[in-house]
Amino acid sequence: MYAEEVAVMAGRIRDEDIALVRERTSIADVISEVVTLKSAGGGNLKGLCPFHDEKSPSFNVSPARNVFYCFGCGVGGDAIKFLMDAEHLGFIESVESLAARAGIQLRYVEDDRSTPRARPQQGQRQRLVAAHAAAVEFYRAQLTTAGARPAREFLARRGFDRAAAERYGCGFAPDGWDLLTRHLRQQGFSHDELVTGGLSRPARSGSLIDRFRRRLMWPIRDITGDVIGFGARKLFDDDDGPKYLNTPETPIYKKSHVLYGIDQAKREIAKQGKVVVVEGYTDVMACHLADVPTAVATCGTAFGGDHISVLRRVLFDSDERAGEIIFTFDGDAAGQKAALRAFEDDQRFVGRTFIAVSPDNMDPCDLRLAKGDLAVRDLVARREPLVDFALRHVINRFDLDTVDGRVEAMRRAAPLVAKIKDREKRPEYVRKLAGDLGMEIEPVQRAVLTAGNGQPANGRPAPTRPGPATPAVDSPRSMVEREALKLALQEPVLAGPMFDAVEAADYQHPVHAAVRVAVAEAGGAAGATGGAVWIERVRDACADLAAQALVGELAVEPLRIDGEPDPRYVSVTMARLQWSSVTGRIRDLKSKIQRVNPVSNKDEYFALFGELLSLEQHARALREQAAGGL
């Protein structure tokens, strides 16, 4: 489809100009505007793919070959193709955009059958961006007029001087019905372009009027710095519109993606690996001026999934390098609700999410005014993990002096702990929650476990199988290995001797094997009496974090048996585990025997054959044991 489009469009922009655009464009520069890129070795770069959601970077850029390619979703091409896909541009618009960056004057050729045009047909996006650029200049010039005094006073009252207003392109929409509309029409923008771009709207009479009037204006830029919309603050008491008015949804302004300040903040966000999410235009300005250059804000909408996708790519938020996301919300009820909602979104970040609440419930702009730049930096530095904030908020609603209050608080708080995506942190939070509630660990553990059942584990949909729900497992073999480890951790008195008799080598999954080794290091399951002390001992014996996390998980995951486990259940589980391991060894052995020549290497052949026979015998015995002696 792409090649076809090139063929069709090439009749409109001269081929040699398109070639020049390709030659003069650095694909790494173009892509870096949207995606933070790191070295991938061999002169190549990598980042998080903008075309699919991922946690490890599989999006590759080769500056030498001037192409990009994603191993995750298969999207690839040159810089023209990248802009087409990333910004939903047509071929011609994409070439125009790159030509403008590279300072290339494009020449257009008329195709034989079309009528000559007065001016080159620019793409829609280019036209709308140009109209917005003209509108920014218009509003800026208006800010110095007598009528704009309330706008200048508003900025001054919030601690923004003229330089700050200039840096953010602040302006004023004057008192008049169609001043901007007429200005832009004179510059050659069409009726349709002004309506489509959200700058003007049709009045009842049919003529066009300005969308924004008598308001302080903030231009809203996309990540590459193009102005795509405006935020407008009410200034006059007799203005009966909302306090803030934004550009409506247009082909270039999608409020679910837009982050105010991202164009200025993106380099620092990438460099520091953190982003501060604030609530308004003035908060972004206050933070940047107070030397918190990583601040951004949503524009007239709640922080959502698309904003997360944009930020993750700038943060390079991946398994290799987790980013830090700091939300600043008002401490009041609305802010707390927003924080809890953000906690739901938290799961979409690999990195850690924090909340920074000013003790006096002041937003960053008020805080800077009242206490200066240092107080703003301090607010961000005093951030608290979002989950701690959310838990405290939930618990505080209940009277912990009563049993009912404690139980209800536990019931409400448990789902939050069950949602912590960092599995290795869950046991820690179970302990903390139990401490905060003044309860034993076990009931809290159970409540968290119950709350966690039936919800996706590792982002995968929960398995739909009858009986008690358990986190997804990869294979029957992995399942039986987990079950064996659960028995050792939860029922060491019952399972100890049989569990200890099976070696770590019989566990296929490396993390499972590591936990098996840790159980031995902790003195073996046979000698253990169980309980939190035993779990703790095994955790401490783990060689790495992954194994530690798994111990925490398996210590609370229910066994796959209805009712109490008995010796037969242990025997069956251990036999199934060994049977998997033995059949694997049989398979390897058979393949090896096939490669040995029975004539020239007779001795080796018969040794292997003997080994095979004894393994097969062992496997038969294990299969009987696995069937429970039935």
What is the spatial distance between Cα 149 and Cα 162, in angstroms, rounded to a whole number?
13
Cβ closer to Zn ion: 52 or 321?
A: 52
Q: How far is the CB of 5 from Zn ion (least distance, A)?
A: 21
Among 14, 22, 40, 52, which residue sits at the site for Zn ion (rule: CB under 5 A)?
Answer: 52
In the bound complex, what is the minimum distance in angstroms from residue 65's beta carbon to Zn ion? 18
- Between 272 and 309, name the residue whose CB sits nearer to Zn ion: 309
Integer distance in angstroms from the first to the last C-alpha of the chain? 63
231 and 255 Cβ atoms separated by less than 8 Å: no
Select 49 or 180, whichever has its Cβ closest to Zn ion: 49
Nearest CA-CA partner of 381 in 307, 308, 290, 314: 290
Per-residue tokens: 62: 């080769």
The amino acid present at 594, given as its one-letter code, is Q
Report the nearest approach of Zn ion to the CB of residue 309 (Å). 12
* 69 interacts with Zn ion by CB under 5 A: no
- The stretch near Zn ion (CB under 5 A) out of 48-56, 347-355, 482-490, 529-537 is 48-56
Contact predicate 365/280, CB 8 Å? yes
Nearer to Zn ion, 72 or 273 (CB): 72
- In angstroms, give the least distance from the CB of 51 to Zn ion: 5
Q: Angle at Cα 245 formed by Cα 244 and Cα 247, nearest 5°?
A: 145
Please say which residue, 63 or 72, places its beta carbon nearer to Zn ion. Answer: 72
Sign of CA dihedral 131, 137, 140, 142: negative
The reply on whether position 70 binds Zn ion by CB under 5 A is yes
Q: Buried (b) or exposed (e) across 226-250, using 16+ Cβ within 10 A?
A: bbbbbbbbbbeeeeeeeebbbbeeb
55 binds Zn ion (CB under 5 A): no
Q: How far apart are CA 285 and CA 159, in angstroms?
A: 10
For Zn ion, the closer of residues 85 and 616 by Cβ is 85
Closest Cα partner for 11 from 92, 85, 109?
109
Q: Which of 6, 51, 369, 559 binds Zn ion (CB under 5 A)?
A: 51
What per-residue string of b and e applies to 104-132 under the rule 16 or more CB within 10 Å gives b? bebebeeeeeeeeeeeeebbbbbbbbbbb
Q: Which is nearer to Zn ion, 69 or 108 (CB)?
A: 69
438 Cβ partners below 8 Å, 6+ apart? 400, 406
Crossing angle (nearest 10°) for helices 262-272 and 305-315: 50
Q: Which is nearer to Zn ion, 120 or 459 (CB)?
A: 459
The amino acid occupying position 143 is: L
Of 49 and 339, CB closest to Zn ion: 49
CA distances from residue 555 to 423, 515, 587 in whole angstroms, order as listed: 12, 12, 33
**If you search the block for the tokens 């087409």, which residue do you land on?**
84
Residue 449 is encoded by which pair of tokens? Answer: 């476990």
Q: Which stretch binds Zn ion (CB under 5 A): 3-11, 45-53, 76-84, 386-394?
A: 45-53
d(Cα 530, Cα 79) in Å, to the nearest integer? 61
Member of 11, 63, 72, 405 binding Zn ion (CB under 5 A): 72
Binding span for Zn ion by CB under 5 A among 65-73, 230-238, 508-516, 588-596: 65-73
Binding mask 601-630 for Zn ion (x = CB under 5 A): ------------------------------
As measured in angstroms, the least distance from the Cβ of 74 to Zn ion is 7
Beta bridge partner(s), residue 298 = 259
CB of 82 to Zn ion, least distance (A): 12
For residue 113, the minimal CB distance to Zn ion (Å) is 39
The 197-226 site mask, x for binding Zn ion (CB under 5 A), equals: ------------------------------
Order of strands across the sheet that contains 295-298: 259-260, 295-298, 274-278, 324-328, 352-356, 384-385
As measured in angstroms, the least distance from the Cβ of 66 to Zn ion is 19
| DSSP label of 406 | H
Q: Which is nearer to Zn ion, 71 or 236 (CB)?
A: 71
Taking CB under 5 A as the binding criterion, the range among 23-31, 49-57, 164-172, 234-242 that sits at the site for Zn ion is 49-57
Residues 6+ apart with CB under 8 A from 590: 612
**Stretch binding Zn ion (CB under 5 A), from 67-75, 134-142, 437-445, 603-611:** 67-75
Closest to Zn ion by CB, 51 vs 605, is: 51
Q: Which is nearer to Zn ion, 52 or 158 (CB)?
A: 52
Which residue, 576, 553, 408, is CA-closest to 490?
553
Q: Nearer to Zn ion by C-beta: 76 or 171?
A: 76
Contacts of Zn ion in 356-375 (CB under 5 A):
none
Q: Site mask, Zn ion, residues 149-178, x = CB under 5 A?
A: ------------------------------
* One residue of 73, 400, 517, 589 binding Zn ion per CB under 5 A: 73
User: In this complex, which beta carbon is closest to Zn ion, that of residue 85 or of residue 536?
Assistant: 85
Q: How far is the CB of 44 from Zn ion (least distance, A)?
A: 15
For the segment 235-254, give every residue that binds Zn ion (CB under 5 A): none
49 binds Zn ion (CB under 5 A): yes
Is 4 strand, coil or helix? helix
Question: Binding segment for Zn ion among 68-76, 234-242, 307-315, 499-507 (CB under 5 A)?
Answer: 68-76
Decide: is 546 part of the binding site for Zn ion (CB under 5 A). Answer: no
Of 64-72, 302-310, 318-326, 502-510, the window that binds Zn ion (rule: CB under 5 A) is: 64-72
| Burial group, residue 311, by CB count within 10 angstroms (0-12, 13-18, 19+) | buried
Number of residues that bind Zn ion (CB under 5 A): 6
Q: Are 327 and 279 in contact (CB under 8 A)?
A: no
Provide, rounded to whole angstroms, the least separation between the CB of residue 306 and Zn ion: 16
The answer to whether 453 and 419 are in contact (CB under 8 A) is no
Note the residues at the interface with Zn ion (CB under 5 A): 49, 51-52, 70, 72-73
